Amino acid sequence: MTTRWKLLMEYDGRAFVGWQRQENGLSVQQALETALTRLTNGQVVQTTAAGRTDSGVHARGQCVHFDLEKSFSAETIRDGLNAHLRPYPASVLDACETTPDFSARFDALQRSYLYRIVNRPSPLTFERGLAWQVPFALDTEAMQQGAQYLIGKHDFSSFRATQCQAKSPVRTLDRLDVTREGPDVFIHAEARSFLHHQVRNIVGSLKLVGYGKWQPEDMAKALAARDRRAAGPTAPPDGLFFMRVDYP
């Protein structure tokens, strides 16, 4: 009897070309599916994730589902996969059986991302690759004001990658907040789904507001243009974390 499993994972995106299998390097999906084949002594397993993170993007709360033919305990799935994932920087935090029709991707009600900027002149040492170091002072209050123009249902053509394959550029952004804790600037984004590079393109635009090159209302102008050339540059993947996905 086939059992559908649901995993909660975290990983350091620096070691991978992204979630999805690709020909140019190791993906999280490939590492996990290889671990599953070893755990099951030969079953070829196909996995589906809630979010297809890009190369260099990290995850704290990635959700994955897959089907297994053999019976296992949740502890065996978790610990066995973690053993077979070594030495890659990916970890299964939790495993549980779920309903046969559950989809990590299509059943998601909300996805939450966090982008971290370290706003200081000195370069990063211990956290290199885990945040975006911006040396010049950022006005986070202005960034927060600019962010609010993007809340709601809009055509986000200006903030999606030119190679984005989504059928529609319309998305509903439920939260976009900019906060500061010392040198750390956090940008929180929540929506049911996101376009390719949407968060990173928004962050790149908000940095222009923080630096004073843009006024907060320029975010609204960029949105209204519905043209990628009207928005700011794409922020690096280093500071982006897929934090959580909510289900019914």
Radius of gyration in angstroms for the set of CA atoms belonging to the chain, rounded to a whole number: 19
DSSP letters along 194-235, please? Answer: --TTHHHHHHHHHHHHHHTSS-TTHHHHHHHHT-GGGS-PPP
| Structure tokens belonging to residue 230 | 């009207």
Nearest in space to 48 (alpha carbons), one of 35, 37, 62, 34: 62
Alpha carbon distance 86, 247 (integer Å): 29
In this structure, are residues 55 and 24 in contact, taking their beta carbons and an 8 Å threshold?
Answer: no
Q: Cα 68 vs. chain centroid, distance in angstroms? A: 26
- The residue written with tokens 């540059």 in the block is 233
Calpha distance 240→62 (Å, rounded): 13
* Phi and psi at residue 66, to the nearest 5°: -165, 165
Amino acid at 161: A
Catalytic residue among 54, 79, 218, 246: 54
Closest CA to 3 of 36, 28, 51, 32: 36
The residues, ordered by sequence, that sit 6+ positions from 145 with a Cβ below 8 Å of its Cβ are 209, 216
**Active-site residue 54, yes or no?**
yes
Q: Which residues are catalytic?
A: 54
